[in-house]
Structures are given as C-alpha cells and as structure tokens.
Amino acid sequence: MTVKDRIAAIQARLGLKADGLIGPVTLTAIEKVLDEQLGEQAATPRLSCSTAGLKKLVEFECSSAAYYNRFLKHPTWPGGASGVTIGIGYDLGYCSAAQARRDWRGRVSDDELAELEKVCRLKGIDAKAIISVPALRDVTVGLDAASEVFYQSSLPAYADKCIKAYPGVTDLPADAQTAILSLVYNRGTAKSGSKRKEMKAIGPLIQQGDLAGIADQIISMKRLWENSGLGGLLRRRDDEADLVRGARRDYSPDELVRI
C-alpha cells in the first residue's frame, strides 16, 4: 500500500473525501480526534475558515478539475500585475526561486523546475513577454501536485500573512475570515499607495468587527479593474463581499476548517 493509499484509508475512516491528499480538512479532522482522545492543546492563532467559503476560494483560483486540466495545467499569465502563474493560483511573480524549489521539487521534473525558476519575480509586462516561450509553456503541473502545494504550502503561508497583517481577523465569523484569506491570497498584504487604500481601511474595520464596512471596502476595490477586461476579479470581489455580509456565528464543527 502506498503512502497515498494509506492517507486515503485514514480519510475514509474519518468520513472525508478519500483523495489521498493531506490538506486543512484532513488535518482539522485528525486534530479533532486527537483533541477528543488527548485533550485540547493551547495553540497559536489560526484562521477558522468555513468549508463552503474555502470551496469558493478554490473555485476563484481554478474553477473546477475539468477547467484546470483544460486551461491551467500549463503556466499562464492572468493579466494585470500578475506573474506567470501555475497550479492553483500559484503566482511565480511574487515568490523567490528558492521558494519555488521548496514547493515544486519532486512535483515537476528538474528541467521543468528550472524553467519555472527563471520567471520568479517577473510581473506584468515582463511576465506577459515570457509566457509564450515554448520550454515554459510545455511545463505540466498535474492537479494532484497543484492541490498538494495549495493546501500544504500556499494556504498556510497566506493564513499566517492574514493574521499578521490584520489583527483581530480570527475573531470574525468563519465566512468573513475566509473572505479576507481569499483577498490576501489574491492581492497580498501591502497597504500603501492609492491602489491599496481599501486594503488599509479594512484593518480598523476588522478590529471593530464591522462586517458591513469590510464588505463595502471590498466592493470599492472594483474601481481598480473596471473596463480592464478582468471581469473575473470583479466577480471575485462581489463574492468575497457576499461572504462577509452573509457571515454567521453558528457554524457546526463540520463546517469549519482550521488553517
């Protein structure tokens, strides 16, 4: 039995989707069992995301498995200030070659990894100029590999960024926490400059627990992409704002994932 088979068997025993991939849902379920058997441990602050919201975040990044395999298994350039993007929203323009090596070694071939390292830190028109290079376009990232990196590396890293950039975010309802995670995953945590005024304004609103105000600021960001051909970003902001406005406090344990 392979390691992946063993993980899938554990997931089946826990009543989870037996995909053989260790992500936040599986880890949360294992932690629940350990808490019940061994008692809860004091932990560092972590995001509590809703399973529905987390599913929406994945849809923002790759839509569906069929869409991923048709359009996203090779490097793409989403436009705007993005870099070359692989996997589930993994933007090489915003990571170092060392980080790319840590995340993707063994998940793509060594030759493919070398091509990916070349485009790290390239953004905007620089990324657009290189995306058509055949050696780069031929890199193939399978969905299983993309999912492993997304759940095991990207999401935890961005959850940490959320908590550091926005004190009080862990006190928000789970759907709202997930919306802020989605926002940071897409835009980062920078708060300076006119294009980032909403990202800055959200900070005090989070500390106040002002869900309506947070949602309004997310909608206000749409000014940056109107008439730019980036309709997907406009819809994403709408959906994130809806998650915040519709957030509730009464989630069952099965509806929550700790990241």
Q: Does 67 fall in a domain?
A: no
Pick from 171, 164, 232, 250: nearest CA to 205: 171
**With 0-12 CB in 10 A as exposed, 13-18 as middle and 19+ as buried, what is 234?**
middle
**Boundary residue ending a domain (110, 141, 172):** 141
In one-letter notation, the amino acid at residue 47 is: L
The Cβ of residue 69 has, within 10 Å, a number of other Cβ atoms equal to: 12
pLDDT at 43 over 70: no
Query: What per-residue confidence (pLDDT) applies to 230?
Result: 85
**Boundary residue ending a domain (141, 163, 197):** 141
How many domains would you assign to the chain?
A: 3
Q: Clarify whether residues 55 and 91 are in a common domain.
A: no
Element (H, E) at 23: none
Q: Does 175 fall in a domain?
A: yes
Share of the chain above pLDDT 90, in %: 77
Q: Clarify whether residues 169 and 52 are in a common domain.
A: yes
Q: Clarify whether residues 81 and 122 are in a common domain.
A: yes
Q: Does 147 fall in a domain?
A: no
What CA–CA distance (Å, rounded) separates 98 from 96?
5
Share of the chain above pLDDT 70, in %: 98
Q: Does 68 fall in a domain?
A: no
pLDDT at 111 over 90: yes
Q: Does 115 fall in a domain?
A: yes
Most distant CA pair in the chain, distance: 55
Q: Clarify whether residues 52 and 32 are in a common domain.
A: no
What CA–CA distance (Å, rounded) separates 126 from 93?
10
Of 2-6, 95-99, 120-124, 212-216, minimum mean pLDDT range? 2-6
Q: Clarify whether residues 33 and 80 are in a common domain.
A: no
Q: What secondary structure does DSSP assign to 33-86, as a single string?
A: HHHHHH---------EEEHHHHHHHHHHHH--HHHIIIIISS-B--STT-B-EE
**With 0-12 CB in 10 A as exposed, 13-18 as middle and 19+ as buried, what is 64?**
exposed
pLDDT at 23 over 90: no
Q: What residue ranges in the chain does DSSP mark as E strands?
A: 48-50, 85-86, 90-91, 256-258
pLDDT at 37 over 80: no
Query: What per-residue confidence (pLDDT) applies to 38?
Result: 74
The separation between the first and the last C-alpha atoms of the chain, rounded to the nearest angstrom, is 29
pLDDT at 40 over 80: no
Q: Clarify whether residues 184 and 136 are in a common domain.
A: no
In one-letter notation, the amino acid at residue 234 is: L
pLDDT at 144 over 70: yes
Q: Clarify whether residues 99 and 16 are in a common domain.
A: no
pLDDT at 33 over 90: no
Q: Does 148 fall in a domain?
A: no
Of 26-30, 76-80, 206-210, 215-219, minimum mean pLDDT range? 26-30
- Which residues, at least 6 apart from 217, have a Cβ–Cβ distance to it below 8 Å? 198, 201, 202, 205
Q: Clarify whether residues 135 and 164 are in a common domain.
A: no
Q: Clarify whether residues 157 and 249 are in a common domain.
A: yes
Q: Give the mean model confidence (pLDDT) for residues 67-84.
A: 95
Q: Clarify whether residues 109 and 167 are in a common domain.
A: no
pLDDT tier, 25 (very low <50, low <70, confident <90, very high otherwise)? confident
The Cβ of residue 110 has, within 10 Å, a number of other Cβ atoms equal to: 8
Query: What per-residue confidence (pLDDT) applies to 85?
Result: 98
174-216 pLDDT per residue, tens: 999 999 999 999 999 999 999 999 999 999 999 999 999 999 9
Angle at 159 between CA 48 and CA 194, to 5 degrees: 120
What CA–CA distance (Å, rounded) separates 153 from 123?
21
In one-letter notation, the amino acid at residue 115 is: E
Report the DSSP beta bridge partners of residue 76: 85
Domain range for 189: 48-62+153-258
pTM score of the predicted model: 0.85
Q: Clarify whether residues 133 and 22 are in a common domain.
A: no
Of 32-36, 78-82, 145-149, minimum mean pLDDT range? 32-36
Q: Clarify whether residues 165 and 54 are in a common domain.
A: yes
Q: Does 102 fall in a domain?
A: yes
Q: Does 43 fall in a domain?
A: no
pLDDT at 3 over 80: no
pLDDT tier, 39 (very low <50, low <70, confident <90, very high otherwise)? confident
Of 24-33, 84-93, 172-181, minimum mean pLDDT range? 24-33
Mean pLDDT of the chain: 92
pLDDT at 42 over 70: no
